[in-house]
Each structure stands twice: as structure tokens, then as C-alpha cells.
Amino acid sequence: MKLAFQLAYKNLVGAGLRTWLNVGVLAFSFIIIIFYNGLIDGWNEQAKHDSIAWEYGNGQLLHADYDPFDPFTILDGHGVLENELSKNLAPILLRQASIYPEGRMFSVALKGIDVNQTTLKLPTASLKNSNAKIPAMMGINMADAANLKKGDEVLLRWRDQGGTFDAAKITVVDIFETNVPTVDMGQVWIPIRKMWKMTGLENHTTFYVANENFQPSNISGWKYQSQETLLSDLNEIIAMKKISGSIMYLLLLAIALLAIFDTQVLSVFRRQKEIGTYISLGMTRAQVVGLFTVEGSMYSIFAMILGSIVGIPLFAYLAKIGIGMPAASRDMGVPLAERIFPVFGIQLIVGTILLVVIASTIVSFLPARKIAKMNPVLALKGKLQ
Amino acid sequence: MKNGSIISIKNVTKRFPVGEGEFTALKNINLEFQSGEFAGLVGPSGSGKTTLLNIIGSLDSPTEGEALVLGKSISKLSHKESALLRNKHIGFIFQVYNLLPVYTVYENVEFALLLQNIPKVQRQKMVMEALDWVGLASMADKKPDKLSGGEGQRVAIARAIVKKPVIVIADEPSANLDAENTYAILKTMRELNKNIGTTFLFSTHDEKVMGHLDRIIHLRDGAVEEDEIINVKTLTK
């Protein structure tokens, strides 16, 4: 085997430009595969981190009648949880409402939140410190859509406990920036105590967000959704994105492998005299097949070295400064930061190396198998077989 | 196999498929070669010289009959066994040298020893010794494309004899060489034949080569026409 590597190295280096073209294409594939997966992994990490920090906490305790995917359950999906059980939980009361910025009606999810909570990253201290009659905060995308800015007053209309419409002006005391659209778009946040008074639903909560000290247990009338459950949708979206992206890089890899395959097929034809010489010098056919296969694999090893020379500084730079994402991408409804910091883990790099090395070995072996059936006499004469 | 015989060809016939039919390249050949012979197969193109050498070199096998080389029946050898026989005991010299183009002169000669897993220091000694025999020690670092025809063939000779094989098979070694280079390589091969006792088997229709052979076997249409013992004692230009 050592001999095959020695000979393959000499043959490849001796082949000059043909080798370096294949190596270049394969190295490019290496870099693209690692870059794209690193970007997705970085996005995954960022999206999970932000979703936990801004929305999911350590899990959520939902009222049994509330279904986050069914807006009709908002009206009745709330209840009161005993004080003793609500330790380590941040309460949120959800009602449907409308605001009227510049006379336009704007349907919103009105969310009451405990101003003292520290479980979520929402800047509820702004609500606490405000002297406004009904202080409110919203995300920057919501504020943009409603054309509202800090200090603006806007009319809010909601239904109280009995279903009667009521209205009052709220003051926008804070506009926060977040990557999590589900706490931003169409959401208005006010103190929960104000909301209890406005709706008459004293001490009622639609769902709680748990902190890390919360111990889940069966509580009658409430259902617990773990952090993993809440993140499952996000995981599915990212997995889908990874699959769709993988088509692109598999195509690229296929082109690179095709170049190796093509070179190998050509080699077996063009180097027949050489093959015959190897056999006449005492190499077995299996050794010659092995030599040609190792030559093909070596393309991927050279590509790995070239890819490392180009890729390591590039990836280190990108991992440090991040990659800017276009604003339009944030409309997808998935947490997406302005800059994503790719994550280039060992698993990704080792996995990619194995994928490329194994794939290039296979495509090298396929044409090399022909050598095993070659007649050495005809090979020495360079006759096509 | 007779006493001292290293190659025994018994009733060997070789046929090749050609289109729907067959072409008989060798017809019932019977020959014996002793250790240390300097013999040649002579005849026009298509007389079966190369086919017979390929069978002796275990690159091909007879359709009928038996070819015994160093006591081994060529037809019965597996791919691996015939590769081992070539690797250890048979050296080849080809008409167009067949040097490996990406290797240096040194590496081309070293190749056969690499296959035998000979330690590096010993390999180095053997390669330089072989290059000394053919007078190319100073060209060890050159690539084959920088050599003249005569030099290329001398490298091929060095590659064939570096492992000190029992038999060297030379298929038209002078076909691409001028008279001076032909003389030079024959002189080299003759010296090796004498000094290390290697058996040389040529195929040729070059009269310059025939003049140096101890034994000439005339082939015509795949059959032995004449087996001529000459016993040339010295080489003259």
C-alpha cells in the first residue's frame, strides 16, 4: 500500500496540469460544501439560541385549551395557575386586538408580560420604568410595518372578559431589535398587570415561559412543551434547507468527481503501455488496479491540502466577521440574524473529507477495474481493449 | 526438463482469435534453453518470435503444449504467481524501452526492487551498480525524455538486470537504434551475460544482433525452421 501511495504521488505530480485542474475543482467543492454546511449550522445555532432567548425559554407551560396554531383558541385558552406552581415561570396573557396607526386598522396579538421577568430577552424593564398610562413595546419590524416610533401613541382596541370591545391609547415606550419574527411581527407587548385590568382576566395566563430552574410536572389543565418540542419546527425548517442546499453542493461534487472519473477512464486508455510495463516488471493486476485507485483518491488528498490552504484562513475570517444576510431573507418567518456566523465544526470537516475521499476512491476504482481484465501483451503494444 | 535447462518448450501451439476464425502464431514448438545462453529468435514479422517470448516471460500462455520456465508450467500459474516469477526471475527489454516517463532514470531502475521490498540502502547500491554496468550512473537524475535512444535502451537494460534475474527477454532491442548504439547495448548485454550468468533471449531480425548471438533459432510461420548453434567467443565491432 505504501508503494502504491509512493508511485501514485509520483505519477500525479508528474502528470502536471491535468492533476492540478482536477485538484482545483475538487478543492473548490470541498470549500463550498464546508462553507455551505457551516453557514447552515451557524444559522441553526443562532436561530436556536435566539428562539430560546426571546421566545421559548426552557420550555412553555400552555393552558390546555390553548393551541398556538389555532387562533380561535385564544379567546378561551387561558386560566389561573396557583402561585405555588407558577414559580420559575414567566406568565404571558394573549388576546387578539387591533391598533389604528394613522387611521389604518392593524390586527395584532396583544401580549401581556410580567415586567419583572428575566427569563426572556424581551426588554420588559422599559415597560416597568415607563410612566405612560399603558406602556407598550414592539419589535422593529412591527414598528416599521405600523409606521410607529418610540414615544408615539396609538389607539388599541381589544375585547374584555365578556367579549365587549374596549379601546384606549397605548404609548410605544420601546422598540426592540430581535432576530425572532414570532415575537416581533404583529405583536404588541404591554405589562400583564395592565392587561389583567383592561380585560378583567385577573391572574389569567395563556402560557408560561419556564426558566432553567423549572421542573416540569403534570399540572391539571395545563400542558408542558419542552424546549426540544418547541424547537422541532425550527429544526425541520433547517433540515429542509440543508437538504435543498445539499442538492447544489452534491451537483458540484458530482462535477468534480466526473472530472476524476473522466481522467481515470482516459488514463486507463492512454496509459496501457505503462500498465503493461508495470505487469511485465512484476506487479500483479490487483496492484495496478490499486495504484490507479490510489491515484484517484490522492486527488482528494491533494484537494484537501489545497482546500485547507485556501479554506482555513477564509473560514476563520468568515467565522469571525460573519456573513451579512439580505433583509428580504428575514421575511421567511424564521429567526435570521443580520449577520450569521458560520460554525465549522470538526464533525462537518471530517465528514466532508470522508465523503469526498470515499467518493473519489469509488469513482477511481470503477474505471481501474478494467485493468484486471487487460491482456498484458496487448497493453504493452498499447492496443485498445 | 533436461539437466541445466531453465526453459523447456514442449509441443507449444498458440492460436489467437481473429474475427470469426483463428490465427496460429506458434505451431508445435519444441525448444530447450540452458542457463547462461545468449540466444535469439530470428524471423520475419509474424513468424511468432514475440509470441514465444511472451509465453516464456509468462505474459501469455500456450493454447496447447507446455512451457516450463524455471520448473514452473506457465499455463498453470495464477496471475499472482506469474507476477512473482517476472518480478524475481525475469527481466524485460522492449523495442520502445517502455520507461516510465514521470520517473527519473534512477527511479525507473529502482522500480523492480521496490516491488521486492528491498531495503533502501541495499536498493541504492544495486541501482547504482546497474547504472554503472550500462555507463549511466551520471544520468541517474535525468527524466527519460532527456535521454537519447541508446541511453533510453541502456536504462531499460539496467532496469531489467538490476534484480539479477535468471532470464532477460529482449524483444527487438535494437529496432530503434543506430549501428553504434546497437553495438554498445549488445556489448553491455554480453558482458552481463558473462559476468552474472544471466540468460538472454532476443527476438530480432537485425543482422547486427544476429552476428553476436551464440545460438540462433530461425522461426517461420510459427514453426522452428532451424536451430543454429554458433558459439561466438568474443564480440567484435
> Distance, in angstroms, between A2 CA and closest chain B CA?
10
Interface of A with B in 1-30 (CB under 8 A): 3, 6-7, 10-11, 13-15
Residue A288 with chain B: CB contacts under 8 Å: none
B192-233 pLDDT, tens digit per residue, is 898 888 999 999 888 888 888 999 999 999 999 999 888 644
Give dist(CA B11, CA B31) in Å, integer. 9
Using the Cβ of A312 and the Cβ atoms of chain B, whether some distance falls under 8 Å is answered with: no
* CB nearest to A282's CB, from B83, B94, B100: B83
DSSP single-letter state for residue A56: I
- The pLDDT score that the predictor gives to residue A327 is 63
* CB nearest to B98's CB, from A13, A273, A286: A273
- Picking from B103, B160, B85, the residue whose alpha carbon sits closest to that of residue B126 is B160
Q: What is the mean pLDDT of residues B118-147?
A: 93
Contact A111, A194 (CB under 8 A): no
- The pLDDT score that the predictor gives to residue B9 is 95
pLDDT of residue B99 exceeding 70, the answer is yes
Segments in B77-164 forming alpha helices (H): 79-89, 105-115, 120-133, 149-161
Q: How far is CA A27 from CA A256, A356, B225, in A?
A: 9, 10, 62
Most B-contacting residue of A3, A271, A284, A298 (CB-CB within 10 A), to test interface: A284
Average pLDDT over all residues of chain B = 90
Q: Which residues pair with A62 in a beta bridge?
A: A207, A223
- The pLDDT score that the predictor gives to residue A37 is 85
- pLDDT under 70: residue ranges of chain A: 327-336, 384-385
Residue B115 with chain A: CB contacts under 8 Å: 3, 281-283
Using the Cβ of B97 and the Cβ atoms of chain A, whether some distance falls under 8 Å is answered with: no
Contact A65, A349 (CB under 8 A): no
CB contact under 8 A, B102 and A13: yes
**Inter-chain contacts counted by CB atoms under 8 A, chains A and B:** 66
- The pLDDT score that the predictor gives to residue B235 is 38
Give dist(CA B200, CA A58) in Å, integer. 86
pTM, entire model: 0.73
- The pLDDT score that the predictor gives to residue A266 is 87
Using the Cβ of B59 and the Cβ atoms of chain A, whether some distance falls under 8 Å is answered with: yes
- The pLDDT score that the predictor gives to residue A179 is 84
CA B5 to chain centre: 17
* CB nearest to B86's CB, from A282, A375, A377: A282
Q: What are phi and psi of A280, to 5 degrees?
A: -65, -25
Residues 6+ apart with CB under 8 A from B172: B50, B94, B95, B203, B204, B205, B206
Q: Which residue has the cell 476512491?
A: A361
pLDDT of residue B236 exceeding 50, the answer is no
